Amino acid sequence: MRDWQIVVLWSDVLVWLLVLAGLGFAMMVRRQPPLRAAWARVGQHRIGMASATVLLAFVLVGLLDSVHYREALPAKAGQKVQYAVEVRSVLDALATPLRTKNEKTYSAPLATRLYAKETREVEGVGTVRDYPRLKHGGQHLGENEAERGADVALTAFRAAVLAFLTWLGLAGMVRLATRTPTVNPENKPKTGPGFAWDAVLGTVLVMLLVLAPLFALAGQYHVFGTDKVGQDVLYQVLKSIRTGLIIGLVTTLVLLPVAVVLGIVAGYCRGWVDDLIQYLYTVLNSIPGVLLIAAAVLMMQVVIDGHPEWFSTAAERADLRLLALCFILGMTSWTGLCRLLRAETLKLRELEYIQAAQAFGVPGWRILQRHILPNLMHIVIISLVMDFSGLVLAEAVLSYVGIGVDPSMTSFGTMINNARMELGREPVVWWSLAAAFSAMFLLVLAANLFADAVRDAFDPRAA
């Protein structure tokens, strides 16, 4: 009997297909010298490589949260195995202490008591109003709550020292692996390619010095506090990462074929085909984006609510709404890239080698495949990398106004939406909003900086 059952969500399939597509794209880059040279320039960009390292950490968390399963329920001998309705991921298993150690209600970061006073009976004293002790946060201190500051500092220091020693070992291995000494006429060692390993290692060091104490303390305290129902805010931040990545990546997968095909065809064919495509994206752009997305999401929600038999778990229902949101965002976000590709295609079709191919009778689809599309790939790559951060922010805005992801799914938008009422209470509960904002800001900033590096590397004037 297995203790678990693999659950494959549609979003999981798309995430891992994107990973395979990324590996295939990397293999294609290695076989094409122009692309290899452009990505080599990206690798030499220190800020770009530092931001790519941060993005890789976010992607790793998202991948761990994209392998789902259901646990087996206790059963007697001879009975058929039944599995729990709740769908969990590998990240849930790794973050079990964060997921299971819930409190009664709000507690501040690194606190040992609740954030609000309660009336309770004390033997020998009577009725008193006090801040109750947390069930999990700081329980290892016992009655020595005054030692919390020293305990936090000591735990963080030990974790930081261990992280630094780990980084020294990692830096040594990277140094040995990348050391390719050659002898020049002056008998001086020559280093290999100019990949920005110093930026990568520096970023890894900063991440280790921050994350190691953070997770070391997370086993004993609620580092980012708890929300209204007592759930750990750090756990919510980790769960929100996958949602943001799916919104950014899967939406890109939807808009890319539409924008590329329509943009290239409009620019190359011109005439009534160009007029029709221009009319299509002009009409689409004239409709307020939020209203269009809201209408589409609400119609999809009606379809989902009318067919509960489609879903065996709540996770499948939330997953379908997430994919529907990605599809809707993709179908309303392709116009900008389409217009850009049309303009570039209009310029390329007038070049001599394109006209020579037409004079020799080369079919139009062949010209588009062999001559037009390869010369537009730098625009496609730059646009998609830069649009990623915009899509992550779009999810936050849509979830804030109630037309984003399913309320049962954790995302940066739902965290911000839940935190808006907390800012109006006394005392103010600020940590949920601060944690969601900080994580989303870091993700978007890293994506924007990496996009700048890609743009500089693929700029034809920089080649």
| Whether the predicted pLDDT of 71 surpasses 50 | yes
User: Distance (Å, rounded) from C-alpha 332 to C-alpha 295?
Assistant: 12
Question: Can you tell me which residue has the tokens 């692996």?
Answer: 177
Q: What percent of the chain has pLDDT over 90?
A: 19
The per-residue pLDDT of the chain, averaged, comes to: 84
| Residue predicted with more confidence, 383 or 280 | 280
The pLDDT assigned to 210 comes to 94
Residue 155 has pLDDT above 50, yes or no: yes
Cα 139 to Cα 305: distance, rounded to the nearest angstrom: 43
- Which candidate, 387, 398, 380, 448, places its Cα nearest to that of 289? 398
pLDDT at 32 over 60: yes
Per-residue pLDDT band for 64 (boundaries 50, 70, 90) equals very high
Per-residue pLDDT band for 419 (boundaries 50, 70, 90) equals confident
Q: What is the distance between the alpha carbons of residues 102 and 137, in angstroms, rounded to a whole number?
A: 9
| Mean pLDDT, range 214-234, rounded to an integer | 90
Residue with the bigger pLDDT between 355 and 121: it is 355
Find the mean pLDDT for residues 213-234.
90
DSSP 8-class letter at 81: P
Q: What is the pLDDT of residue 212?
A: 94
Residue that wins the pLDDT comparison between 193 and 427 = 427
CB burial of residue 186 (10 Å; 0-12, 13-18, 19+): exposed
pLDDT band at 452 (very low <50, low <70, confident <90, very high): confident
pLDDT number for residue 186: 54
Structure-token pair, residue 10: 């549609």
pLDDT at site 312: 75
pLDDT in tens, 169-215: 999 998 888 876 555 555 554 444 578 899 999 999 999 999 999 99
Mind listing the domains of the chain with CATH numbers?
A: 233-462 (1.10.3720.10)
DSSP 33-50: HHHHHHHHHHHH-HHHHH
Helix or strand (DSSP H, E) at 120: strand 118-122
User: How far apart (Å, rounded) are the C-alpha atoms in residues 385 and 259?
Assistant: 15
Handedness of CA 29, 33, 34, 40 (dihedral sign): positive
Range with lowest mean pLDDT among 60-64, 405-409, 443-447? 405-409
Can you give the pLDDT at residue 192?
46
pLDDT the model gives residue 383: 79
Reduce the DSSP state of residue 68 to 3 states and report it: strand
- The number of C-alpha atoms within 13 Å of 444 and in the hemisphere containing its C-beta is 18
With 0-12 / 13-18 / 19 or more C-beta atoms within 10 angstroms meaning exposed / middle / buried, residue 442 is: middle
List pLDDT tens digits, range 383-396.
777 777 778 878 77
> Do 129 and 117 touch, CB atoms closer than 8 A?
yes
DSSP 176-205: HHH---EE-TT--EE------HHHHHHHHH
The answer, yes or no, to whether residue 424 has pLDDT greater than 80, is no
User: Which one-letter DSSP state was computed for residue 401?
Assistant: T
Angle between helix 233-269 and helix 10-31 axes, rounded to 10 deg: 60
Give per-residue pLDDT as tens, 329-375. Answer: 888 888 888 898 988 888 888 888 888 887 878 787 788 877 888 77
Residue 402: both structure tokens together: 């109630």
Tell me the Cα Rg of the chain. Answer: 27
Q: Give the separation between CA 242 and CA 72, rounded to whole angstroms.
A: 25
